[in-house]
């Protein structure tokens, strides 16, 4: 493979996160949590539109009927980009703010929480049902809920609780969002950095961002390391496939909590990077059905 990593958007985000490719508009959604911003970046036009909210957005997802669903502050709701209006549907209780999230194959929106002090077991993972717009806890005793992605057939959920320093797999019941048979797919305790957001390619391989590790690591379904991608930013937060044929890997990064020395050595910290030439391609993002 002939890979090339470039700066797609020199955003200087404080904490860029949650990239989602909209294959209908060929744009990339992403958030800057610390600045309460939701962005829509058009690689073709070279434009980046921003909506500023009253609370930090942990994640956004596409809706089947148009618009966005979002995990903001300590709840779930809808975001109208045209009016720049966020309307909360359902608050949640365990944690201090929402964090990473994604839609499942049935059109639910799953997102988790964290506490500011990373209190062990004080956060949760929730599922927002599209029909009722009600959220329910599906995983308790979480510390820092982060990346999640489904196997191509939807029967396995891959999940990161960052402080555990591993990627876990669950059997996933698409009909009920029930989790079972938790096991560790990849132990990352000896890797540089800690696991953050992740995505999956069409072959079922996992691409995980390593916060404070300056890299993306790719693993197969048996947990074998396939590939490393060095990223020139001290904080690498998440990734997703996008672009023509979903062959480009977009990588979000941040400046927090990097040191002054790190930021001086990595002038593009907080950029959205684009990796081409991996030989892999992604799958279209699931959309919220409500």
Write out the catalytic residue numbers.
Answer: 196
Tokens read off for 200: 């999956």
Q: In what order do the strands lie in the sheet with 27-32?
A: 16-22, 27-32, 37-42, 47-52
For residue 50, the Cα-to-chain-centroid distance in whole angstroms is: 18
Q: How far apart, in whole angstroms, are the C-alpha atoms of residue 253 and residue 262?
A: 13
Q: How would you write 237-276 as a 3-class SS string? A: EEEEEECHHHCEEEEEEECCCCCHHHHHHCCCCCCEEEEE
Q: How far apart, in whole angstroms, are the C-alpha atoms of residue 270 and residue 249?
A: 16
Tokens read off for 199: 């995505």
Using alpha carbons, list the distances in angstroms from residue 121 to 90, 92, 114, 164: 22, 15, 9, 11
Residue 249: CB atoms within 10 Å: 28
Q: How far apart, in whole angstroms, are the C-alpha atoms of residue 286 and residue 279?
A: 22
């Amino acid at each position: 493979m002939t890979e090339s990593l470039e700066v797609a958007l020199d955003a200087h985000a404080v904490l860029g996160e949650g990239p989602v490719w909209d294959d209908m508009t060929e744009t990339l959604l992403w958030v800057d949590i610390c600045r309460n911003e939701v962005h829509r970046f058009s690689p073709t036009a070279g434009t980046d539109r921003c909506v500023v909210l009253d609370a930090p957005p942990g994640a956004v997802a596409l809706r089947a009927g148009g618009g966005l669903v979002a995990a903001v502050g300590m709840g779930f709701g809808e975001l109208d980009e045209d009016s720049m209006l966020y309307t909360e549907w359902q608050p949640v209780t365990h944690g201090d703010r929402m964090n990473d999230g994604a839609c499942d194959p049935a059109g639910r929106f799953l997102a988790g929480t964290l506490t500011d002090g990373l209190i062990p077991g004080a956060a949760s993972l929730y599922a927002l049902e599209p029909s009722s717009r009600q959220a329910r806890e599906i995983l308790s005793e979480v510390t820092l809920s982060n990346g999640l992605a489904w196997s191509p057939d939807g029967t396995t959920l891959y999940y990161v609780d960052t402080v555990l320093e591993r990627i876990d797999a669950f059997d996933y019941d698409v009909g009920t969002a029930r989790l079972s048979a938790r096991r560790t797919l990849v132990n990352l305790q000896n890797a540089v950095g800690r696991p953050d957001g992740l995505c999956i390619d069409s072959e079922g391989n996992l691409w995980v961002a390593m916060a404070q590790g300056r890299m993306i690591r790719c693993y197969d379904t048996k947990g074998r390391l396939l590939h490393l991608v060095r990223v020139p930013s001290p904080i690498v937060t998440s990734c997703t496939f996008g672009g023509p044929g979903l062959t480009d890997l977009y990588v979000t990064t941040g400046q927090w909590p990097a040191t002054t020395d790190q930021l001086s050595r990595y002038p593009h910290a907080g950029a959205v990077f684009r990796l081409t030439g991996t030989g892999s391609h992604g799958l279209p993002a699931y959309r919220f059905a409500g």
